[in-house]
């Protein structure tokens, strides 16, 4: 069964875009997943196919009309797929969400432009509002591409034995350990000795310690959650 992605967008040419290349592109050619871009302009009003209007209450920019967006959504066979709306106002998109989407039949992604979409159609459609980070993009298409890329690489048969989703960042609540390859000496810098030793247990131990060090330094939020999960939470013992 093909994993089906649908993008509702005013810029259908942006799909598959970068997803037509490399790992996702090969999976697309092999029929592991598909992507259909639906042009919301086709549901626009009048001869000029208007899709947006000024915000009630005033303010800058334009808002996508609920009737136009609803007509575009109504024309799609969701077939059990979640409707996802990328927006900086959404809850943070997590690897757990990606795993959930990848495990289902696919996703429908509503890509906003201008200042965003009228709130009522988001409510009425039950769209999941997700943010890919605390910065503002010029539209939802790039965020949709990020979401789809993260899903596609998890689909069965996409990653070969050479690429693994088991030992990567977030799989165990930690950031991944640093990676090294040949040459063993480069520009006066050595690869950590233990990685050249061939001692698998010692390597695993070094990698775990390195993961913990980098997570503690760069992501105190992940580190705090990891401490709780592994029962090493000392924050409450005082
Ligand atoms: N659209 C614009 N900015 C976004 C963000 N940070 N996350 C998701 N969708 C967006």
Helix (H) or strand (E) holding 151: helix 140-152
Q: Measured at the alpha carbon of residue 46, what is the angle toward residues 65 and 53, in degrees to the nearest 5?
A: 30
Mean pLDDT of 16-34: 98
Q: Is 93's C-beta closer than 6 angstroms to any atom of ligand 1?
A: no
C-alpha 134 to ligand 1 mean position (Å): 8
Cβ-based burial of 64 (10 A; exposed 0-12, middle 13-18, buried ≥19): buried
Q: Is 116's C-beta closer than 6 angstroms to any atom of ligand 1?
A: no
Q: What is the pLDDT of residues 223-238, one digit of tens each?
A: 999 999 888 876 655 4
- Residue 70's pLDDT is 98
**C-alpha torsion angle, residues 144, 146, 149, 155 (rounded to 10):** -80
Q: Name the DSSP letter for residue 181.
A: -
Cβ-based burial of 96 (10 A; exposed 0-12, middle 13-18, buried ≥19): exposed
84 is in an annotated binding site: no
- Average per-residue pLDDT for the chain: 95
112 is in an annotated binding site: yes
Token pair of 167, please? 């030992």
What is the pLDDT confidence band of residue 166, given thresholds at 50, 70 and 90? confident
Q: Is 211's C-beta closer than 6 angstroms to any atom of ligand 1?
A: no
Q: What is the pLDDT of residues 54-81, one digit of tens each?
A: 999 999 999 999 999 999 999 999 999 9
Weakest mean pLDDT among 172-181, 207-216, 228-237: 228-237
Q: Which of 93, 133, 137 to mutate to test the pocket of ligand 1 (most atoms within 8 A of CB)?
A: 137
132 is in an annotated binding site: yes
C-alpha 188 to ligand 1 mean position (Å): 42
Give the ligand 1 atom nearest the CA of 135: 6
Cα separation values, 185 from 177, 181, 200, 202, Å: 19, 10, 21, 21
Long-range contacts at 32-35 (CB < 8 A, ≥ 24 apart)? 32/2, 32/3, 32/152, 32/155, 32/156, 32/157, 32/158, 33/2, 33/3, 33/4, 33/5, 33/106, 33/152, 33/155, 34/2, 34/3, 34/4, 34/5, 35/5, 35/6, 35/7, 35/148
Percent residues over pLDDT 90 in the chain: 89
Q: Is 142's C-beta closer than 6 angstroms to any atom of ligand 1?
A: no
- Residue 238's pLDDT is 47
Q: Name the DSSP letter for residue 226.
A: H
Mean pLDDT of 158-175: 82
C-alpha 203 to ligand 1 mean position (Å): 39
Q: What's the predicted TM-score (pTM) here? A: 0.95
C-alpha 184 to ligand 1 mean position (Å): 41
- Report the alpha-carbon distance of residue 201 to residue 204 in Å, rounded: 5
Q: What is the pLDDT of residues 73-107, one digit of tens each?
A: 999 999 999 999 999 999 999 999 999 999 999 99
Helix (H) or strand (E) holding 106: strand 106-110
pLDDT surpassing 60 at residue 131? yes
C-alpha 144 to ligand 1 mean position (Å): 9
Report how many helices (DSSP H) and strands (DSSP E) the chain contains, helices first: 7, 9
221 is in an annotated binding site: no
Cβ-based burial of 12 (10 A; exposed 0-12, middle 13-18, buried ≥19): middle
Q: Name the DSSP letter for residue 195.
A: G
Q: What is the pLDDT of residues 109-127, one digit of tens each?
A: 999 987 999 999 999 999 9
What is the pLDDT confidence band of residue 133, given thresholds at 50, 70 and 90? very high
Write b or e for each residue in 124-140: b if 16 or more Cβ atoms lie within 10 A of its Cβ, otherwise e.
Answer: ebebbbbbbeeeebebb
All domains in the chain, ordered by first residue: 3-152 (3.40.1280.10), 166-238 (1.10.1270.20)
């Amino acid at each position: 069964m093909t994993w089906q992605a649908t993008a509702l967008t005013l810029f259908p040419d942006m799909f598959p875009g970068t997803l037509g290349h490399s790992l996702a592109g090969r999976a697309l050619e092999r029929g592991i997943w598909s992507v259909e871009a639906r042009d919301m302009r086709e549901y626009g009003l009048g001869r000029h196919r208007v899709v947006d209007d000024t915000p009630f209450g005033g303010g800058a920019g334009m808002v996508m009309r609920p009737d136009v967006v609803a007509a575009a959504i109504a024309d799609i066979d969701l077939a059990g797929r979640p409707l996802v709306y990328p927006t900086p106002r959404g809850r943070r998109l997590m690897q757990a969400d990606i795993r959930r989407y990848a495990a289902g039949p696919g996703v429908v992604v509503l890509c906003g432009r201008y200042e965003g979409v009228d709130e009522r159609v988001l409510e009425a459609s039950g769209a999941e509002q997700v943010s890919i980070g605390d910065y503002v993009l010029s539209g939802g298409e790039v965020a949709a591409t990020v979401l789809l890329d993260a899903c596609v690489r998890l689909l069965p048969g996409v990653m070969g034995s050479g690429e693994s989703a088991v030992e990567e960042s977030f799989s165990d609540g930690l950031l991944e350990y640093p990676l090294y390859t040949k040459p063993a000496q480069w520009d006066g810098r050595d690869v950590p000795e233990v990685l050249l030793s061939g001692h698998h247990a010692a390597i695993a131990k070094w990698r775990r310690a390195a993961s913990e060090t980098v997570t503690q330094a760069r992501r105190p939020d992940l580190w705090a959650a990891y401490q709780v999960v592994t029962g090493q939470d000392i924050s409450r013992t005082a």
